[in-house]
């Protein structure tokens, strides 16, 4: 699974670079530090975080074969 997230920390947009096109059928969820889901979307190469408060979040990319959790910081 070759993909990158940038920038981290982010102010409004996180870019996801999916070099092998493995993420096209995945779902993206963002959870706050309490585990509450604050954002859900089908895969997109850009995620807009502007509606979220500053803080730490966990971005999960998942389908029935892949699950990856990345810690992100929203400034």
Query: In a 3-state reduction of DSSP, which class is residue 70?
Result: strand
Token pair recorded at residue 22: 């493995």
CA dist 23 and 29 (Å) reads 13
Could you list the residue range(s) of the whole structural domain that residue 12 is in?
Answer: 3-74
pLDDT at 52 over 70: yes
pTM, whole model, 2 decimals?
0.88
Among 12, 10, 1, smallest CA distance to 71 is for 10
Q: What is the pLDDT of residue 39?
A: 95
Instruction: Measure the CA–CA gap between 42 and 27, rounded to whole angstroms.
Output: 4
Confidence of residue 25 (pLDDT cuts 50, 70, 90): confident
Question: Could you give the number of structural domains in the chain?
Answer: 1
Q: Cα(66)–Cα(64) distance, rounded to whole angstroms?
A: 6
CATH of the domain at 65: 2.60.40.3080
Rounded percentage of the chain residues whose pLDDT exceeds 90: 72
The yes-or-no verdict on residue 8 having pLDDT over 60 is yes
């Amino acid at each position: 699974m070759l993909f990158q997230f940038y920038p981290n920390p982010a102010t409004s947009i996180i870019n996801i670079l999916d070099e092998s096109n493995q993420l096209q059928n995945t779902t993206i969820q963002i959870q706050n530090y309490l585990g509450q889901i604050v954002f859900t979307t089908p895969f997109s190469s850009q995620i807009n975080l502007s509606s979220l408060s500053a803080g730490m979040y966990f971005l999960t990319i998942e389908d029935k074969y892949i699950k990856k959790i990345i810690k992100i910081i929203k400034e």
